[in-house]
């Protein structure tokens, strides 16, 4: 038995001798420190409890920090996915909002157009035979320095004939000069080729000639006739086409006629049917 103890002592010293002096000291120090902590903890020394509590807190904090990536990385992935989905949904909502804005603009345009149509119907159809009035929409405005005409969406299919007068709000704006099956061309009063007989408030007769501008001129007035400002001009009806007394415009001090309807602002017009018979052409 003594031999085995001697052998163990020899082996332990040999192990210590094989290591450096610093390693011997560190191992012995750790063993000595562990024994001291063990006995202090066993015999209940008071200052060991706060030390142990401090060490436990440090260990817990280090453990918490070490486990943070494993807890937050999955949540971070979920948050990123949620952000992508919200952003995509926001883009879709923006597209839908633009569609609704466009739809709102279209509704507003249709509402304004409906108001204009109601106004035309109220003025044109008042005390008139509805069968003699045809509402038409302006498709094309052929505007050039001297030639002024428009294209409407009614033609021979709707009963439109060449020569029929065109009005807006009961004011004369021109006449039909060309017809197709589904459309017609209207020569406006300010066209260079337009000539219609008119009468003035004072009873004078004249010819209203288009000048290419928005203000036609009066020709063939009585000799020494003085044109006064703000004299009403009406269609005389002598040509058998335009109804007598249809308002046209007012005179200015330059001998021009300021039309009641701006030829450049026509969206809807009315065709006066039955004023021209088919056998006349």
Mean per-residue pLDDT, 145-149: 78
pLDDT per residue as tens digits for the range 101-140 = 766 666 665 666 666 666 555 555 544 555 688 889 998 8
Q: What share of the chain is helix, strand, coil (3-state, %, to 5)?
A: 45, 25, 30
Going from N- to C-terminal start, the domains of the chain cover: 134-280
pLDDT of residue 97 exceeding 90, the answer is: no
Mean per-residue pLDDT, 35-53: 64
Helix crossing, 21-42 with 48-124: angle to 10°? 90
Render the burial of 131-159: b for 16+ CB within 10 Å, e for the rest: eebbbbebeeeeeeeeebbbbbebbeebe
**173-177: long-range contacts at Cβ-Cβ below 8 A with a sequence spacing of 24 or more?**
173/259, 173/261, 173/263, 173/266, 173/269, 174/149, 174/150, 174/263, 175/241, 175/242, 176/271, 177/149
Fold entry, domain 134-280: Thrombin, subunit H (2.40.10)
Mean per-residue pLDDT, 260-273: 89
Residue, of 56 and 213, whose pLDDT is higher: 213
Place of tokens 């920090």: 65
Decide: pTM greater than 0.75. no
Q: Distances in Å between the alpha carbon of 71 and those of 68, 78, 92, 162, 277?
A: 5, 12, 33, 87, 92
Q: Round to whole Å and give the CA distance between 152 and 183.
A: 6
Reported confidence tier of residue 1, pLDDT bands at 50, 70, 90:
very low
């Amino acid at each position: 038995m003594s031999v085995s103890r001697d052998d163990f002592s020899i082996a332990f010293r040999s192990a210590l001798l094989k290591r450096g002096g610093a390693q011997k000291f560190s191992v012995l120090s750790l063993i000595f420190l562990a024994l001291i902590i063990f006995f202090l903890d066993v015999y209940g020394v008071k200052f060991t409890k706060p030390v142990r509590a401090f060490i436990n807190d440090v260990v817990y904090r280090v453990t918490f920090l070490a486990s943070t990536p494993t807890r937050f990385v999955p949540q971070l992935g979920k948050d990123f996915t949620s952000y992508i989905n919200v952003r995509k949904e926001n883009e879709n909502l923006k597209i839908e909002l633009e569609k609704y804005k466009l739809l709102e603009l279209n509704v507003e345009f249709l509402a304004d157009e409906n108001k204009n149509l109601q106004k035309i119907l109220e003025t044109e159809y008042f005390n008139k035979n509805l069968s003699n009035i045809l509402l038409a929409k302006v498709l094309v405005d052929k505007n050039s320095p001297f030639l002024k005409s428009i294209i409407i969406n009614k033609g021979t299919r709707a009963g439109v004939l060449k020569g029929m007068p065109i009005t807006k709000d009961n004011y004369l704006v021109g006449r039909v000069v060309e017809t197709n099956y589904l459309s017609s061309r209207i020569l406006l009063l300010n066209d260079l080729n337009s000539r219609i007989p008119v009468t003035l408030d004072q009873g004078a007769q004249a010819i209203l000639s288009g000048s290419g501008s928005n203000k036609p001129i009066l020709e063939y007035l009585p000799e020494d006739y003085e044109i006064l400002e703000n004299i009403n001009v009406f269609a005389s009806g002598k040509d058998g086409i335009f109804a007598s007394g249809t308002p046209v415009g007012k005179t200015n001090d330059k001998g021009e006629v300021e039309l009641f309807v701006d030829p450049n602002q026509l969206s809807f017009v009315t065709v006066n049917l039955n004023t021209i018979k088919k056998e006349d052409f």
